Amino acid sequence: MQSNLPDKIQADKIHVGIIMDGNGRWAARRGLPRNAGHRAGVEAIRRVVEAAPEQDVGTLTLYAFSCDNWRRPKAEVSALMGLLRRYLADETARLADSGTRLSVIGRRDRLPDGLADAIAEAEAATAAGTALSLRVAIDYSARAAILLAASRATHPADLTRDGFARLVTGEPQPRDVDLLIRTSGEKRLSDFLLWESAYAELYFTETMWPDFAAAHLAEAIASFRGRERRFGGLPAHAAAA
């Protein structure tokens, strides 16, 4: 489904991508089963989604489940899919009321029965949201998205940077990632938004995802605001010399 971001979401707001990592380790450190960490991670999603608009975030993309995550034990995968169902059931009305527009990126053909329909219903119910565009990556691979875009390129306009970006993202006006956050201390991109993150500022934190809160998001954004983004050019003072 294409996500036509409403014009009312200001263009000067930033796009933040988050690799939500550390649920299992968070649980293990507390002597809890991994699923307890995933449940706590859902609470962190709620906190960050609520905080994002107040921190000048216009688009928030969360990495929930990668194509490679199917390799995990079947019981854990089943639990994750169950949490997704519960999230859609519990949060759709809240998202709509807060002006948050939900869209899901990634494959849907491999999801358990009925889940793709539940996603579509949640997308439709929140389609009018203008406060925040919340994109959740499920059964997602950035490399697969790029390969699929290449297979669909049939016109010279598709091979321009903007044209190909539209094929990669499935969006008429794709927005590059400004700030990419990964929690839990790991420092890799894990096949997440590779095209869109070409010039993203990277921010890694030791905080496990279940502990991530509005204050942590504010700290990451403050770090982003303090950086000089040159996009291959020179610093302003050097260019003027």
The residues near 81 (Cβ < 8 Å, ≥ 6 apart) are 111, 112, 115
* Cα four-point dihedral sign 70, 24, 78, 39: negative
Position 240 scores a pLDDT of 60
In a domain, 176, yes or no: yes
> What token pair was written down for 7?
């014009």
pLDDT tens-place string over residues 31-66: 999 999 999 999 999 999 999 999 999 999 999 999
Task: Give the CATH number, domain containing residue 134.
Answer: 3.40.1180.10
Measured distance CA(115)–CA(82) in Å, rounded: 9
Is 8 within a domain? no
Catalytic residue (choose from 4, 12, 21, 90): 21
Q: Is the residue at 71 inside a domain?
A: yes
Given 23, 56, 69, 109, which residue is catalytic? 69
Q: Is residue 240 part of a domain?
A: no
Question: Is 69 part of the annotated catalytic residue set?
Answer: yes
Instruction: Answer whether 129's CB lies under 8 Å from 111's CB.
Output: no
Active-site residue flag, 56: no
Residue labelled with tokens 């939500």: 20
Which residue range forms the structural domain that includes residue 119?
14-226
Structural domain count, the chain: 1
Query: pLDDT tens for residues 68-104?
Result: 999 999 999 999 999 999 999 999 999 999 999 999 9
Assess if residue 235 is contained within a domain. Answer: no
pTM: 0.91
| 2 in a structural domain | no
Q: Is residue 236 part of a domain?
A: no
